[in-house]
Amino acid sequence: MVAFDVDGVLADSIHGFNRWALHRFGLSESELAPFDAYDDYLTRWPRHVQDELVEVFTEVFFHGAHGVYEGADVLPGALHGVRRLHAAGLASGYVTRRPGALHALTRTWLERHGFPDLPLAHADGEHPKAPRVRALGAHVMVEDSPAEASALVGAGVRVLLRHEPYNAGLALDGVVRCDGWTLIVQRALTLNGAIAATGMTAGDSARS
């Protein structure tokens, strides 16, 4: 079974925020440094906007402000990929780092874009995702964050990592890098078939 992160896997919220913030501060993309480190998004911006940027970043990603979450595009291939895995009986639900207070907002976005009606779990604050993934009966998680991927694998959950420049430096046993949703679906089907055939547990599959 497979669980799905939301931001960076289904919803293109970070690039939506990027467009919104560029407009707010009157900047162009050429004025920003490359986004090649997941945990270093803010310092790529000009110094004179960074203090205010921290404030609006918090407003958007922790409080759901400014319509960025509601207006996020679906990442290419995500809807078809989740639907295909759901049709195969392998989609267990969604596990997001968004605060639980944003449950209704997140659920509405998923429904509006036609994603399957599956459980939606929140890993608020510093709470790990792995127990929520397991509670959904999943042994594979689709992620984009290198930190989350590392933590999940350490807890015995196999990870399909949707490739982005900001996670390109992660190379870890138990993490399978996938360049797009077509490959995510292929690898998910293969992994689940292998686990079912051998009777391995989630922890066994992550260590294999």
Average pLDDT over residues 22-44: 92
CA distance 105 to 189: 30
Predicted local distance difference test score (pLDDT) of residue 42: 87
Please, which pLDDT band fits residue 198 given cuts at 50, 70 and 90? low
CA distances from residue 105 to 71, 86, 118 in whole angstroms, order as listed: 11, 22, 15
Predicted local distance difference test score (pLDDT) of residue 64: 96
Q: Which is more confidently placed, 200 or 207? A: 200
* Strand boundaries in the chain, DSSP class E: 2-4, 91-96, 120-122, 140-143, 158-162, 175-178
pLDDT 10s digits, 98-134: 999 999 999 999 999 999 999 999 998 889 999 999 9
Please, which pLDDT band fits residue 50 given cuts at 50, 70 and 90? very high
The CA-based diameter of the chain, rounded to the nearest angstrom, is 57
Q: Do 99 and 127 contact (CB within 8 A), yes or no?
A: no
DSSP string, 32-63: SPP---TT--GGGS-HHHHHHHHHHHHHHHHH
Predicted local distance difference test score (pLDDT) of residue 191: 87
Supply the mean pLDDT for the chain: 92
Residue 147, C-beta contacts closer than 8 angstroms, at least 6 positions apart: 38, 39
Share of the chain above pLDDT 70, in %: 93
Closest CA to 203 of 131, 149, 136, 153: 153
Range with the poorest average pLDDT among 35-44, 157-166, 183-192 = 35-44
Predicted local distance difference test score (pLDDT) of residue 205: 39
Tokens of 52: 């205010």
Tokens of 73: 């595009």
203 pLDDT higher than 70 = no
Predicted local distance difference test score (pLDDT) of residue 194: 65
